[in-house]
Amino acid sequence: MSPARLIDGKLAAAEFRARVRRGVDELVARGQAAPGLAVVLVGDDAASQVYVRNKDKAAHEAGFRVRTIRLPATTTQRDLLAGVAELNRDESVHGILVQLPLPRGLDESAVVAALDPGKDVDGLCARSVGALWSGGAGLVPCTPLGCMHLLERAGVALEGARAVVIGRSQLVGKPLAALLLARNATVTIAHSRTRDLPAVCREADVLIAAVGRPELVRGAWIRPGAAVIDVGINRLPDGRLAGDVAYAEALEVAGWLTPVPGGVGPMTIAMLLGNTLLAAARRALVPERELAPWRSETA
């Protein structure tokens, strides 16, 4: 069998970001303010600092107005909720992203619940989740949206396909399952209690790994010709990054494959920009298909 076609997330993300930039220019040309994104970082987690810096940079490049709010790890729940309430009221802010995880002692679910659903660009609050499962017009979590965009762009057929998602987190696994279902795939969600995971995976025309275990998915688990999307980002003891899929083995069997790094990772920030533009377009009552035409392609 010929090796899998690689799905280039870096290229897809760069193209998508250029589309967002054009949408921003169009919004401004219509006399509206550029999208405003507020990023809230509490504490000094090293990985979160990097993520926030990258989001800040990408949002600036897309022509957004960005406010990065850095709060000390000692911030109280009450002060954080007051800060969120202020951003909810601020007309110049269209998207609010609270970088997770929060330091110990802060209640993430209460903070997520406090977000204005129209500004919840991570798509995590209950209204966003409800909209996703009921086909409503909410905001959809960025990483799952990025996976769908990559599948779409690669031309992978989803209608009637058997899709297996490994992982059931609120952030990745569950929303991905909802998006695949909305595309008429037949979806199985697997997790740590799934019996005979290799056999379940071998059923999949589309296999998505969002687990956080380096190279858990072996080549022998993959149905020949399947589309394999590797969401995992795992730091190995030697410092290298590995996905949840054994890359070299998968390359021999899969029909399509995302690399790590350079696959799903770059799409997450691109989708965050897309969601913020969408939120700003809705706020300005500009028909979203005119500024964010990709929405109908993925969700």
Active-site residues, by number, are 55, 99, 122
Handedness of CA 49, 50, 53, 58 (dihedral sign): negative
According to CB under 6 A, which one of 265, 272, 275, 294 is a site residue for ligand NAP? 265
Q: Rule CB under 6 A: is residue 232 a binding residue for ligand NAP?
A: yes
Q: State how far the Cα of 93 lies from the Cα of 177, in Å rounded to an integer.
A: 30
Binder among 103, 118, 212, 219 for ligand NAP (CB under 6 A): 212
Q: Which stretch binds ligand NAP (CB under 6 A): 30-38, 97-105, 229-237, 289-297?
A: 229-237
Residue nearest to ligand NAP (CB): 169
Task: With CA atoms as reference, report the closest residue to 254 among 151, 178, 172, 142.
Answer: 151
Nearer to ligand NAP, 54 or 74 (CB): 54
Q: Which residues contact 208 (CB under 8 A, 6 or more apart)?
A: 147, 163, 164, 165, 166, 167, 176, 228, 229, 231
User: Would the CA dihedral through 18, 22, 27, 31 be positive or negative?
Assistant: positive
Number of Cα atoms under 13 Å in the Cβ half of residue 127: 13
Give me the half-sphere count of Cα atoms (radius 13 Å) on the Cβ side of residue 191.
Answer: 10
Taking the C-alpha atoms of residue 279 and residue 264, their distance in angstroms, rounded to an integer, is 23
Identity of the residue, 176 or 291, whose beta carbon is nearer to ligand NAP in the bound complex:
176
Q: Does 259 contact ligand NAP by CB under 6 A?
A: no
CA–CA dist 274, 268 (Å, integer): 10
Least distance in angstroms from the C-beta of 213 to ligand NAP: 5
CB neighbours of residue 85 within 10 Å: 13
Q: Which of 191, 235, 240, 289 binds ligand NAP (CB under 6 A)?
A: 191
User: Are 169 and 147 spatial neighbours (Cβ–Cβ below 8 Å)?
Assistant: no
Give dist(CA 260, CA 144) in Å, integer.
16
Site string for ligand NAP, 161-190 (x = CB under 6 A): -----xxxx-xxx----------------x
197, 242, 281, 291: residue in contact with ligand NAP (rule CB under 6 A): 197
Say whether residue 213 binds ligand NAP (CB under 6 A): yes
Query: Of 34 and 148, which has the nearer Cβ to ligand NAP?
Result: 148
Asked if 204 is part of the footprint of ligand NAP (rule: CB under 6 A), the reply reads: no
What are the structure tokens assigned to 23, written together? 């949408």
Give the residue, chosen from 37, 231, 250, 273, that forms a contact with ligand NAP under the rule CB under 6 A.
231
Residues that bind ligand NAP (CB under 6 A): 143, 166-169, 171-173, 190-194, 197, 210-213, 216, 231-234, 264-265, 268
